Structure 1
């Protein structure tokens, strides 16, 4: 007969018994869903108020610009600053920025310039939050469950991308301010979830006190030395550019054909079904197919994270 201690030693730990991961994951389910809701409503709002696809493109570009210019310098800052504060401040600042949109709508003073600034601030907060969350995840989740946790985070994003656009289109049809109120509220809920995380989220090893520009260039050199990472980032950058443009074109064409905001939201949500299935299958595939690191990667120390994705995916 096996002793209880031996049974506990061989029992596989459950990710969903990790209260801190559940608090973080649950809050980000709401927050990511809110981002998709407002991400669907933003181009619709610009097109309705200005009738200009160019203005909608400018606002969309402002939201994605931080992912291009801020990722590399933000990485060293996330290692140097308090990650708990980065997570919390990113959520609160983004929520505050989103809350100005319905206020401006009610006052009749909304401008494209304001929407451009709001989109940029939201994107910048998303960059810092995404990097801090990925860096903090190994401090919350045991190493054996880390691939599953990453897969669950991806499933979270894909599920929100599937449900968020239809909800965004539906809420926009009810009132133009409602999607942005929903997203602002989602940031508040996510901030409350962060308060339940008590673990130390900092690296156990002290970060070298090198200048920020040296850390940034070191990151660029590391990416350039790894062909797989370099190719992946190039493909992601090009595909993001293409799909962002195609999505905006589809929204403009659908609106000109008389499609309702709910129909446009449903159209934007359909494509995410395949991504959701892939994310749910990722943990099983990881156990069956273990990638072999290259010689340059195998000589490194520890697990490295590629700054080529983000937690709140832009929809347009």
Structure 2
């Protein structure tokens, strides 16, 4: 049986590639749009498309992920993000970068939807794998991975945009997702114990999510801006 430390090392290796490549691509598309159009409005809308779905869905996805197979959720989320990056890469290739911006917004938003399921699934896997005494340490390492991706992503994206075409940049995200999926296929993550009271709890937690959404001023302003 695989040691829990070995399991986490495999998962972390794959997820580092996945989160970093996803961050790089998200910023690369935003940088490319900024250079291509020089429009502050387009830059703002692309940023919203990248962040808003994950921000909004993140209030609710954790409720479902807590009751789903964590490993399958992460695999499907990685593949979904890779699929949309692959489609966007194909559009850049076939149009030589002259594609309609609305397709970029749409695919950025869909990638964000995948991330909204991936991140809570990763976080929810920790208590199922590690001893309770190690949970704080594991949570800290998870945060380091996400922080590293957030910090390094823009810098790497800037280098890629300056030295590569967007098709190649987007395919890097597909490669990162493949590495992440392979790492997940090599490990086993226990399924959560089914709770007979899950449905009542689910409804209550969804209501709490809507309440959090309604009381979040940042999200309100984002919606108002889009309208």
Distance in 1, Cα, partners of 2:197 & 2:10: 28
Summarize deviations over 1:90-116 as a string: whole Å, max 9, x none: 000101101122211111152211111
Alpha carbons of structure 1 residues 62 and 37: separation in structure 2 relative to 1, 3 Å: same
Alignment of 1:165-314 (within 5 A): 165-177=154-166, 178-203=168-193, 205-206=195-196, 208-210=198-200, 213-219=203-209, 237=218
Separation in structure 2 between the aligned mates of residue 193 and residue 206 of structure 1, nearest angstrom: 32
Residue correspondence of structure 1 range 141-152 to structure 2 within 5 A:
141-152=130-141
Q: TM-score, normalised by structure 1?
A: 0.61
Q: Deviations over 1:193-233 (max 9, x none)?
A: 11122131324645522385543114567x79xxxxxxxx9
The structure 2 residue matched to 1:53, chosen from 27, 32, 40, is: 40
Alignment partner of 1:153 out of 125, 142, 147:
142
Partner of 2:200: helix, strand, or coil?
A: coil
Aligned to 1:137: 126
Deviation at 1:128, TM superposition (A): 0.7
Q: Per-residue displacement from partner, 1:34-82 (whole Å, max 9, x unpaired)?
A: 1221122111221233332211211210121123321233222213333
Point out the structure with max Rg over C-alpha: 1
Does the residue aligned with 2:175 lie in a helix, a strand or coil? helix
Structure 1 unaligned regions, length at least 5? 1-15, 225-232, 242-316
Deviation at 1:160, TM superposition (A): 2.5
What's the counterpart of residue 119 of structure 1?
108
Task: Find the aligned partners of 1:68 and 1:159 in 2 and give their Cα distance.
Answer: 19
Instruction: Tell me how far 1:155 sits from its aligned partner.
Output: 1.1
**What residue number does 1:24 align with?**
11
Q: How many residues align?
A: 214
TM-score normalised according to structure 2 size? 0.83
**Cα separation, partners in 2 of 1:213 and 1:119, compared to 1, 3 Å:** farther
Aligned-partner Cα distance in 2 for 1:206–1:116 = 41
Task: Please tell me whether the aligned partners of residues 79 and 203 of structure 1 are also in contact (alpha carbons under 8 angstroms).
Answer: no
1:62 is aligned to: 49
